[in-house]
Amino acid sequence: MPVSNDAPTHALKADSFGRILLVQGPEGPFVRRDLGATPLWLRLPAWWLARREARALRHIHGMADVPQLLDWDGRHLDRSFMAGDAMYQRPPRGDVAWFRAARHLLQQLHRRGVAHNDLAKEANWLVTGDGRPALIDFQLAVIGDPRSRWMRLLAREDLRHLLKHKRMYCRESLTPVEKRVLKRTSWVRDLWFATGKPVYRFVTRRILHWEDNEGQGPKP
């Protein structure tokens, strides 16, 4: 989507992997991930993450309540704008219908062979203007055969993260089956907590100076 350099923009977020901008294009607003401001030593991982997101969005093109990929040129990733608030900004407390719809949304995503892989963060769940759930930020998404053992495992982890949010905001509506899912952790989760998460925390907190937003999204 070619856009003039003097098109109105508004920064939504900025971190070590680039800036997220709300851009006013000729056909309306859209969101741009701009890698131009990324430090030289982080450009390769930033590019890899943006490329991964572009690939996932291309794979689920046309699906409702997820961003639509508009363009990816190696420096800018443009996606459709989705009006709404992050879950931590507008918590769906006691909203059984929202969580039912969120589970249906996840099922649609998984049937298309995509696991989001980053749903512990409330910032990646939106509550739209009319109260529907929506998903954003597919940088860590995995694409594969939905019938494969690996993808079924990742889909289960996506569901567990949704149910953890449900336990936070709608605990009384958890079903016996959902409670069992929450109690059963996978080897992927256990391996991540034993090895990957300590490294992730060191890099994000000590090197990149991010706030830990897992489970609650970034601070307003």
* CA 84, chain centre distance (Å): 14
3-state DSSP call for residue 8? coil
Name the pLDDT band for 148 (thresholds 50, 70, 90). very high
pLDDT, residue 202, reads 47
Average pLDDT, the chain: 86
Tell me the H-state helices in the chain. 43-59, 96-111, 149-169, 176-183, 187-191, 197-201
- What gap in Å lies between CA 151 and CA 115, rounded to an integer? 7
Instruction: Check whether 29 has a pLDDT greater than 80.
Output: yes
Please tell me which residue, 9 or 67, carries the higher pLDDT value.
Answer: 67
Please tell me which residue, 210 or 181, carries the higher pLDDT value.
Answer: 181
Instruction: Check whether 215 has a pLDDT greater than 60.
Output: no
Percent of the chain with pLDDT over 90: 68
Instruction: Check whether 6 has a pLDDT greater than 60.
Output: no
> Vertex 102, ends 29 and 197: CA angle to 5°?
90
- What gap in Å lies between CA 92 and CA 107, rounded to an integer? 19
pLDDT, residue 127, reads 97
**DSSP state for residue 123 in the 8-state scheme:** G
Mean pLDDT of 161-170: 97
- What gap in Å lies between CA 24 and CA 8, rounded to an integer? 5
pLDDT, residue 191, reads 60
Q: Angle at which helices 149-169 and 176-183 pack, to 10 degrees?
A: 110
Widest Cα–Cα separation across the chain? 55
Instruction: Check whether 193 has a pLDDT greater than 80.
Output: no
- What gap in Å lies between CA 179 and CA 35, rounded to an integer? 41
Enumerate the β-bridge partners of residue 22: 10, 31
pTM over the 0.85 mark = no
pLDDT, residue 214, reads 43
Mean pLDDT of 173-180: 96
Q: What is the pLDDT of residues 33-83, one digit of tens each?
A: 999 878 888 889 899 999 999 999 999 999 999 999 999 999 999 999 999
Instruction: Check whether 166 has a pLDDT greater than 90.
Output: yes
pLDDT, residue 90, reads 96
Name the pLDDT band for 219 (thresholds 50, 70, 90). very low
Name the pLDDT band for 5 (thresholds 50, 70, 90). low
Enumerate the β-bridge partners of residue 77: 33, 72
Mean pLDDT of 191-201: 55
